[in-house]
Amino acid sequence: MFRPMYDWVLRMAHHRHALRSLALVSFAESSFFPVPPDVMLLPMVLARREHAYRIAAVCTIASILGGIFGYAIGYYLMESVGQWLVQLYHMESKIEALRHGYDQYGAAIILVKGLTPIPFKLVTIASGLFHFNFPLFILLATITRAARFFLIAALLKRFGEPVQAFIEKRLNLFAWGFLILLVGGFAAVAML
């Protein structure tokens, strides 16, 4: 079921606009788009292991820039766009609890959530909404997103061939597992 999509993404990894597409997805995921850049990052690194760190750098920089945009949504546009996103994710009743959590553990929230399948856009928008220290937000977003994307790139660069063979042999299992993690991230946010 997932094989044609996987093969297409591997082919697209060699396309001249592949890095731009990855940057666009990474930027959007950090501010408004529900699909994480890992969907493109993993196959792109597997297809072009010699460029693993360059691919991770593009993904990281775009994610940070998207995070700044997400922060701006929370900070400046909460009454319009931000409110729509809060309603989309059914977070209306949880805003005050999140505010309290940010007051006490804002830095830890940004660092931990940036590594997990929980949608990073929720962290960036919340950081702006609660007026989290902006330079510190950028520093923490850089640390957590770079750690996530460069770790993936380093592991795939080092162990790419056996990992790729392992994944391809069990592609449906991995694809379903990824979808479950993605949905689980959204569900975890909804249950906060």
Would you say residue 182 has pLDDT above 80? no
How long is the chain? Answer: 192
**H/E element, 14:** none
Rounded distance between C-alpha atoms, residue 54 and residue 146, angstroms: 12
Query: Given 3-state DSSP classes, what are the helix, strand and coil percentages for the chain, each rounded to the nearest 5?
Result: 85, 0, 15
Burial zone of 93 (CB within 10 Å; 0-12 exposed, 13-18 middle, 19+ buried): exposed
Mean residue pLDDT across the chain = 83
Q: Which of 9-18, 103-112, 115-124 is predicted most confidently? A: 103-112
Confidence (pLDDT) at 172:
66
Dihedral, CA of residue 105, residue 110, residue 116 and residue 120, to nearest 10: 130
C-alpha distances in angstroms, 56 versus 49, 102, 164, 180? 11, 28, 18, 24
pLDDT in tens, 59-102: 999 999 999 999 999 899 877 776 776 777 777 777 778 888 88
Question: Taking Cα atoms as reference points, which of 44, 54, 58, 46 lies closest to residue 13?
Answer: 44
Confidence (pLDDT) at 70:
94
